[in-house]
């Protein structure tokens, strides 16, 4: 769905996925400094967890010690030997889980920005500042990794670099750069007179034809995109387009996915209508995001191929409420009333059919930091609480191609941990009250409040 907010939203929405390797994944970066200046790489932290959901099963383990060193988990178990001098963190009254992943954010945009107008008003640096504010909110809410589904002017790259350099607290970000798509499509910032917003090309994520689709992928990767986001159909919030028809041809999709794959990147597809979803799935995208219209045939194909669905239910609920309250633009309200009931039915069928689901919200369409409300909505779709948590941990890491590095609490993985009070397997609403957040071995929240590192 197109975010309302910012120039980033207007021009972008691109998304992407994945990758493996690269500086972004290095376990210890400049940010791994404690407030005292002592390097986290030298510090050993021993966390006593009253209960642990480690992401490798659907159950809790009790009275577990997690040993962290150098930004990574060194050992996990009931009888781990704690080295003398280790810093002790007592979470014996808490349930510890892997840090959450949100696979669809627009972290450099806010809903209040008004995406259509802000593209003409906001300076490029403003989007990065908005992103800095949202990065902190996202991390404090327990989301230690996000897949950013589009930003203009490479604001996402700037934000990611600032976080990795330790300038500001924030999640690990996998960036898409600008979303790429066709002239007049959802990834084009259209709807204005051409003298206000002249036609653009590859540099703005616009392609027409397979060769230009290849060039558009290469351009985003050149400037640091970790994944590619494309717009397979129109969106609820974009103006002047019907939401049903496909926007990208099978040939364009194949060129895009083939080029991205050569460059070790995955493709995420914003898609609502069934024709666009078919083109995306059959070309081999990693995920269908939103996925409002899904029939039994495509659900069977997605399951067989392992294509993830990222439902972004919060975005659908937001536009539904905005349409009901009259705060949505008239052209968007018409689309929202048509598409939201279909999306609810499609997502239920996807869960029942066993299609792989990864957690993603479309934060930026609604306020950042509230991402964990998606857990409740996933359970309402028919997922069990453990399944909903796995969607935000193990499954999301698999979608990103980083399951060997994160997504579960196991030795050798990123020391990304969160903790809540009570049993979230009985009530996922507890996941909205994260009291402890560690990322790369650095504690950003403890005892229900930000630490000095978390501001
Ligand atoms: Zn989006």
pLDDT at 10: 30
Tokens of 174: 């996998």
State in Å: Cα 198 to ligand 1 middle.
24
Distance from the CA of 94 to the center of ligand 1, in angstroms?
33
| pLDDT number for residue 255 | 98
CA 372 to ligand 1 centroid distance, Å: 17
Cα–Cα distances in angstroms (integers) from residue 358 to residues 40, 113, 309, 373, 394, in the given order: 31, 28, 6, 14, 9
Sign of CA dihedral 120, 313, 374, 23: negative
CA–CA gap between residue 321 and residue 316 (Å, rounded): 9
Cβ–Cβ under 8 Å, residues 10 and 410:
no
The reply to whether CATH 2.30.40.10 applies to domain 44-99+408-450 is: yes
Backbone dihedral angles phi then psi of residue 418, each to the nearest 5 degrees: -130, 165
Given 3.20.20.140, 3.40.228.10, 3.10.180.10, 3.30.470.10, which CATH number is that of 6-24+100-400?
3.20.20.140
Cα-to-centroid distance, 364 and ligand 1 (Å): 8
Q: Where are the domains of the chain?
A: 6-24+100-400, 44-99+408-450
Question: Distance, CA 26 to ligand 1 centroid (Å)?
Answer: 27
The conformational region for residue 125 under phi > 0 = left, psi -120 to 50 = alpha, else beta, is alpha
CA of 149 to the centre of ligand 1 (A): 6
Residue 288: CA atoms inside 13 Å, Cβ hemisphere, count?
Answer: 37
Can you give the C-alpha Rg of the chain in angstroms? Answer: 21
CA of 116 to the centre of ligand 1 (A): 15
SS3 at position 386: helix
Query: DSSP letter at 291?
Result: -
Q: Residue 122: how many CB atoms within 10 A of its CB?
A: 25
The region, left, alpha or beta by phi > 0 then psi within -120 to 50, assigned to residue 146 is beta
Residue 57 CA to ligand 1 center (angstroms) comes to 30
Q: Is the dihedral of CA 278, 283, 284, 286 positive or negative?
A: negative
CB 132 within 8 A of CB 168: yes
- pTM exceeds cut of 0.85: yes
Residue 231 CA to ligand 1 center (angstroms) comes to: 10
CA–centroid distance, 361 to ligand 1, in Å, is 8
Q: Distance from the CA of 185 to the center of ligand 1, in angstroms?
A: 14
Distance of CA 50 from the midpoint of ligand 1 (Å):
37
CA of 314 to the centre of ligand 1 (A): 11
- Span from the CA of 42 to the centroid of ligand 1 (angstroms): 39
Question: What pLDDT score does 244 carry?
Answer: 84
303 burial (CB, 10 Å; 0-12 / 13-18 / 19+) is middle
- Give residue 164 CA to ligand 1 midpoint distance, Å: 24
**C-alpha count within 13 angstroms, C-beta hemisphere, residue 455:** 14
Which DSSP string do the residues of 42-100 spell out, in sequence order? T-EEEEEEEEE--SSSSS-EEEEEEEEETTEEEEEETTPPPPTTPEEEEEEEEEEEEPE
- Cα of 157 vs centre of ligand 1, distance in Å, is 17
Q: What are phi and psi of 268, to 5 degrees?
A: -110, 140
Q: What is the H or E stretch that residue 270 is in?
A: strand 267-271
163 sits in which H/E element:
helix 155-164
**How many residues are given for the chain?**
455
Q: What Cα–Cα distance (Å) separates residue 304 from each residue in 18, 209, 290, 308, 435?
A: 20, 29, 19, 11, 39
State in Å: Cα 7 to ligand 1 middle. Answer: 13
Find, among 43, 143, 162, 106, the residue nearest to 407 by Cα.
143
Please give the distance, rounded to the nearest whole angstrom, from the Cα atom of residue 103 to the centre of ligand 1: 10
pLDDT of the chain, 455 residues: tens digit per residue: 544 333 333 333 333 333 333 333 333 344 544 444 344 557 899 999 999 999 999 999 999 999 999 999 999 999 999 999 999 999 999 999 999 999 999 999 998 777 677 788 888 899 999 999 999 999 999 999 999 999 989 999 999 999 999 999 999 999 999 999 999 999 998 778 899 888 999 999 999 999 999 999 999 999 999 999 999 998 887 776 788 899 999 999 999 999 999 999 999 999 999 999 999 999 999 999 999 999 999 999 999 999 999 999 999 999 999 999 988 888 888 888 989 999 999 999 999 999 999 999 999 999 999 999 999 999 999 999 999 999 999 999 999 999 999 999 999 999 999 999 999 999 999 999 999 999 999 999 999 999 999 98
Surrounding residues of ion ligand 1, Cβ less than 5 A: 149, 362
Q: How far is the CA of 45 from the centre of ligand 1 (A)?
A: 37
Query: By the 8 A CB rule, do 96 and 47 touch?
Result: yes
Smallest Cα–Cα separation from 111: which of 412, 295, 321, 348? Answer: 321
Q: List beta partners, residue 446.
A: 449
Q: How do beta strands 87-98 and 417-420 pair?
A: antiparallel
């Amino acid at each position: 769905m197109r975010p309302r907010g910012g120039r980033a939203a207007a021009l972008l929405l691109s998304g992407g996925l994945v990758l493996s390797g690269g500086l972004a994944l290095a376990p210890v970066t400049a940010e791994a400094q404690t407030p005292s200046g002592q390097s986290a790489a030298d510090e050993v932290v021993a966390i006593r967890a009253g209960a642990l959901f480690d992401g490798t099963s659907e159950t809790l383990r009790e009275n577990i010690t997690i040993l962290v060193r150098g930004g990574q988990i060194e050992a996990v178990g009931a009888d781990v030997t704690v080295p003398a001098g280790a810093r002790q963190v007592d979470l014996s009254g808490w349930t510890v889980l892997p840090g959450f992943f949100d696979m669809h954010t627009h972290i450099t945009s806010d809903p209040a920005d008004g995406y259509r107008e802000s593209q003409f008003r906001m300076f490029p640096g403003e989007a990065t500042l908005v992103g800095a504010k949202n990065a902190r909110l996202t991390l404090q809410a327990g989301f230690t990794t996000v897949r950013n589904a589009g930003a203009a002017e490479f604001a996402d790259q700037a934000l990611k670099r600032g976080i990795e350099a330790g300038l500001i607290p924030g999640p690990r970000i996998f960036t898409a750069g600008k979303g790429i798509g066709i002239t007049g499509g959802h990834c084009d910032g259209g709807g204005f007179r051409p003298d206000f917003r002249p036609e653009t090309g590859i540099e703005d994520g616009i392609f027409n034809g397979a060769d230009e689709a290849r060039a558009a992928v290469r351009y985003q990767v050149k400037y640091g995109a970790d994944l590619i986001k494309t717009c397979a159909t129109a969106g609820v919030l974009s103006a002047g387009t019907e939401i049903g028809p496909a926007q990208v041809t099978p040939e364009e999709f194949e060129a895009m996915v083939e080029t991205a794959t050569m460059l070790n990147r995955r493709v995420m597809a914003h898609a609502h209508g069934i024709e666009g979803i078919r083109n995306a799935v059959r070309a081999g995208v990693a995920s269908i995001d939103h996925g409002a219209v899904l029939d039994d045939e495509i659900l069977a194909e997605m399951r067989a191929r392992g294509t993830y669905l990222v439902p972004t239910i919060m975005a659908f609920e937001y536009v539904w409420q905005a349409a009901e309250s009259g705060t949505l633009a008239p052209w968007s309200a018409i689309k929202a009333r048509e598409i939201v009931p279909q999306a609810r039915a499609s997502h239920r069928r996807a869960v029942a059919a066993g299609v792989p689901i990864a957690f993603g919200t479309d934060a930026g369409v609604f306020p950042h930091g509230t991402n964990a409300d998606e857990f409740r909505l996933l359970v309402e779709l028919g997922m069990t609480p453990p399944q909903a948590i796995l969607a935000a941990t193990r499954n999301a890491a698999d979608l990103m191609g980083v399951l060997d590095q994160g997504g579960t609490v196991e030795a050798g993985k990123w020391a990304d941990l969160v903790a809540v009070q009570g049993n979230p397997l009985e009530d996922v609403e507890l996941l909205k009250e994260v009291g402890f957040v560690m990322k790369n071995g650095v504690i950003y929240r403890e005892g229900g409040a930000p630490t000095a590192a978390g501001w």
